[in-house]
Amino acid sequence: MQKSHIVLSDSDHQELTRLLHQSGIRSKVFKRVTTLLELDKGKTIEEVRQVLGLSYPTVAKLIDNYQQNGLKCLKDKKQPGRPPGISGKQRAAITALACSQAPEGHLRWTLRLLADRIVELGYCESVSYVQVGRILKKTNCSRT
């Protein structure tokens, strides 16, 4: 008889079985649930890895994560990300400026002119004309 990599408690086994039969389960979670259930049956890491198309380190990490955190290992951890550089209020002000009358001497707003005016008015410390274009692309505002 082969050594079992993990031994699930009855409550964990029932919860995993319930999740497995749930509709709308995400692919990542399905693979994690199936991996844990198969390992509990006594299958080797290599067998489970080949059937589910996972790498050895992925399965080994899941085992460690389950042993440390229990069923919390099924959820993804929050990934840190870069905070947005321009807030919603700033975006609204930029859009309002672009929809306003063009400055004297200009027929219409250009992205570079808008970027300069945004910094001049203190809406943000710095903004590129490309970023202004991305902001305006998400609106129905025309710069004419």
Within a 13 Å sphere around the CA of 123, how many CA atoms are in the beta-carbon half?
Answer: 24
**At 90, phi and psi to the nearest 5?**
-65, -40
Nearest partner of 8 among 33, 45, 44, judged by Cα:
33
Q: CA-CA-CA-CA torsion for 88, 93, 95, 101, nearest 10 degrees?
A: 180
Tens digit of each residue's pLDDT (9 = 90 or more) over 3-48? 557 888 889 889 999 988 888 888 888 999 999 999 988 888 898 8
Is the C-alpha dihedral spanning 97, 102, 104, 108 positive or negative?
Answer: positive
Tens digit of each residue's pLDDT (9 = 90 or more) over 82-111? 877 888 899 999 999 998 999 899 999 999
Helix and strand totals (H; E) in the chain: 7, 0
Name which residue leads in pLDDT, 117 or 7.
Answer: 117
Which range, of 7-11, 77-81, 115-119, 124-128, averages the lowest pLDDT?
Answer: 77-81
Per-residue pLDDT, 1: 36
User: Rounded to 5, what percent of the chain is helix, strand, coil?
Assistant: 60, 0, 40
How buried is 131 (Cβ within 10 angstroms: 0-12 exposed, 13-18 middle, 19+ buried)?
Answer: middle
